[in-house]
Every structure is written in structure tokens, then in C-alpha cells.
Amino acid sequence: MADKSGATEPHGKVDALVIGSGPAGLMAAETLVRAGRQVVIAEAKPSAGRKFLMAGKSGLNITRDEPPDAFRAAYGAAEDWLAPMLDAFGPREAVAWAEALGQPVFTGSTGRVFPEVMKASPLLRAWLRRIGAELRLAWRWSGWKDGAWAFDTPGGATVLSPGVTILALGGASWRRLGSDGAWATLLAEKGVEIAPFRPANMGLRIDWTPHMAPHLGQPLKSVRLVAGAQCVRGEAVISERGIEGGGVYAISAAVRDGAPFAIDLAPDRSAEDIARRLAQRPKKRTLMKHLAQALGLDPVKRALLQEFGRPLPEGADLARLIKALPVRHLGPRPMDEAISTAGGIMWEAVDEGLMLRALPGVFVAGEMLDWEAPTGGYLITGCLATGLWAGRHAAEWSGP
């Protein structure tokens, strides 16, 4: 793949332009190349796939091994819209994609699928070599000039006039990696319908009392996290800023949208069993010591119970509190800290091929679209699937 960071001739004509080099953009570019199109990829950052590489630091969970119906259901309100794209590129296709790039995968105990090397860089290097498009780095899209696509580049301002364009600019979190959502204003000015951005897969802010200081940075294990009707068995981390981690991310959208948040500190015991064990406390044993010995509540769980349950009730009321401890929080962490975002280009703004109705010949893919999914492989697979879908339809587009 050629890497050119300098400017091109004014109003340089290109066959197909992809803006953004994350998973959606690279999949779209490769699909165009395979269809015989000559492709230029413009990337605002000095290197490609920065958010993809960041995801690899925690193992690069590329997909999830589960039945198609269960997999699609994870996309919530967007399930029906995304269904044909996920049917065309789902978990099996994601595994085949990675293995074709020389990266064998394995499936963890929870069904999450990872490359054996547990990182993204080898996969990204192999993918960039295979795609065969021209990559222009540090090219930041700045809008339009005289009907052409304008860019700020190391060699100065320049413009491109593509035959077809695919936008894969990401959502509005992790701006230091390239996803800042600035494109939303540019597209809205062209009449594209944009839903407001909201954080997704994020931690929650909590103003801890000094009582919690010894437990900051500690894991919260073997709990059930509840947000309204949603219930997830998982883990979390008590951080200085609040509570975060995989279990929290799984229910964070519901909490963001107003559902009450509670934690079941003893998910393997019933309230009746807990009440019976509480009633057996010897007179000389403190309540905290009894919670540890009779119920197995570790120091973090006992601290949370005191943080959110004081003054602690007794008997059956305490048992119910242990099973559903209400968590007082201050809402989501800032959007730029979120793993992903909801909001973006509304589905009404695109046709069945992901072409913008307001801008014929311009297709979109990935997190620019208004969909969200939990962590666990759904995000990357969704980006790859929409990139493939947009690439196929863009390859077939020859003008109005």
C-alpha cells in the first residue's frame, strides 16, 4: 500500500475515495479494490487504524461465537436495520477474515473471539498490505471547495474529485485517536439528518466518600449488575472517578437512558438464604465480620454496602439490600472517554445501500451511523459489516 502524505494537484480526480482508516474504512476500501475500483484512502492521523490498535491493547475481541439471532439481538434498536449486513458478515466471516490475514483465533469461555497473539498490530499490518489502495496520511477532511472534497494536508490545502466516496470517520469518542465527530456539522449543513451523540460503553461517575479510599482501583468480582429490566453477570472496577469495566459497560446504555442502577452483591444466593444466614450471627461477631464469614462478601463488597446502604437495616431488609444495592451516581463519564458512541447519521438519512440521500454517491459506514452495541466483539464486527456493505454498493454506483 502506497503511503503519500503530500498534496496532490488541485481538483485531482480519483476513482474512489475512502475517508477514514479504521475497520469500517479499510473493509470498504478493500471491497472497492476487489471490485476493480482504484481507491485512495485519506486518514487524518499520521498512521492508520489508531483506535483499532488501541482496542488491541486489551486483547482485540473481534467477534463473539454465538447463534446469529442472539448476535443480532445485541444491537438493540438497530437490529432490524443491521440484520442484512450482519447476515452478510457475522461472526463466522469475522473469524475467516482474521485467519485469512494469517492470524489464528481462539474462543474464550464467554464466547469472545480473539487473535491468538492478543493484539491488533500484526493483523493491521497484514491487512494494509493486502488491500492495495493508496493511503494518504495526515490528510484531514475540512469540507468542500467548488464541489470537490477539501483536505488540510502536510503539503497544504488540496482537493479531490472522486467518482464515489465512502465516509468512515468514526463516532465522537477518543478524539486523540481520530474520532472527534467534527464531521457531523459538515454533513448537517448539507441536509444530512444527525442524531445527537451520546456516550456508550462507558463508566459511571461517582463521588465517593473518604470511606472508599482504601478500595479505589480494586476489582468488584462475581456480581450481578442491574439496570431496570436489564441484568448482567459480570465484573467491574472501583476507580477514583467512579465505577467502570465490562459489566458496567454492558448495562451503561440503559443507565444513560434513565434506568436505575443496582448491584446484586451475592448473585449465587437467594434473599431467603441470605436472611437465614444473617439471622445466625453470633452475638459477639460484628456484622461486617459475619457478612464476610457467612456470605463470603469480600472487603470491596462490604465497603459498597456501607457506602450506599448506611444506615444498614437488619434481617430481611438487609438481605434485600444485598441482592439489590442501589448505586448513587452522577451519570456517564465524559463522552470522549467512552469506548463508543450512540447517535450520528440517522437511518432515515441513508438508503438501503448506506448511501446518503442528501449526497448521491456518498456512502457511510461504521460508527458514523446511529447504532450502538455492547463490548464483546459486536462493535468491530458491526464496523466490518457496514464497511463491506457500503463498499459493495459504492462499487456498483455509477451516478444518478
Which domains, and CATH codes, for the chain? 2-199+334-396 (3.50.50.60), 204-326 (no CATH)
Quote the percentage of the chain above a pLDDT of 90: 92
Residue 390 neighbours by CB under 8 Å, 6+ apart:
24, 28, 166, 168, 353, 354, 363, 364, 365
What whole-number distance in Å separates Cα of residue 194 and Cα of residue 134? 30
Nearest residue to 93 (alpha-carbon basis) of 130, 121, 68:
68
Q: Copy the grid coordinates of residue 172.
A: 465522537
What whole-number distance in Å separates Cα of residue 21 and Cα of residue 25? 5
Q: At what angle do helices 378-396 and 79-88 cross, to 10 degrees?
A: 80
Helices (H) and strands (E) in the chain — how many of each?
Answer: 13, 19
Residue 55 neighbours by CB under 8 Å, 6+ apart:
61, 120, 380
Helix spans in 89-214 (H): 91-100, 121-131, 183-188
Q: What is the average per-residue pLDDT within 335-355?
A: 96
Long-range pairs, 145-151, Cβ under 8 A, ≥24: 146/11, 148/11, 149/17, 149/19, 151/42
56 confidence band (pLDDT: 50, 70, 90):
confident
What whole-number distance in Å separates Cα of residue 164 and Cα of residue 13? 11
CA atoms within 13 A of residue 348's CA, in its CB half-sphere: 6
Q: What is the average per-residue pLDDT within 305-324?
A: 96
Q: Which residue has the cell 480473539?
A: 114
pLDDT for 57 equals: 82
What whole-number distance in Å separates Cα of residue 263 and Cα of residue 220? 10
What whole-number distance in Å separates Cα of residue 16 and Cα of residue 10? 17
Q: What is the average per-residue pLDDT within 111-140?
A: 96
DSSP state letter for 212: G
Higher pLDDT, 140 or 398: 140
Is the pLDDT reported for residue 7 higher than 50? no
Residue 357 neighbours by CB under 8 Å, 6+ apart:
349, 350, 351
Q: Are strands 134-137 and 2-3 parallel, antiparallel or unpaired?
A: parallel
Q: At what angle do helices 378-396 and 91-100 cross, to 10 degrees?
A: 80
Three-state DSSP class for residue 68 = helix
Task: Give the mean pLDDT of the chain.
Answer: 94
Q: What is the average per-residue pLDDT within 111-125?
A: 95
11 confidence band (pLDDT: 50, 70, 90):
low
Q: How many CB atoms lie within 10 A of CB 175?
A: 13
Is the pLDDT reported for residue 10 higher than 60? no
What whole-number distance in Å separates Cα of residue 252 and Cα of residue 225? 10
What whole-number distance in Å separates Cα of residue 194 and Cα of residue 185? 9
Please name the helix (run of DSSP H) or strand (run of DSSP E) that holds residue 14, with its range, or none: strand 12-19
Q: What is the average per-residue pLDDT within 60-75?
A: 96
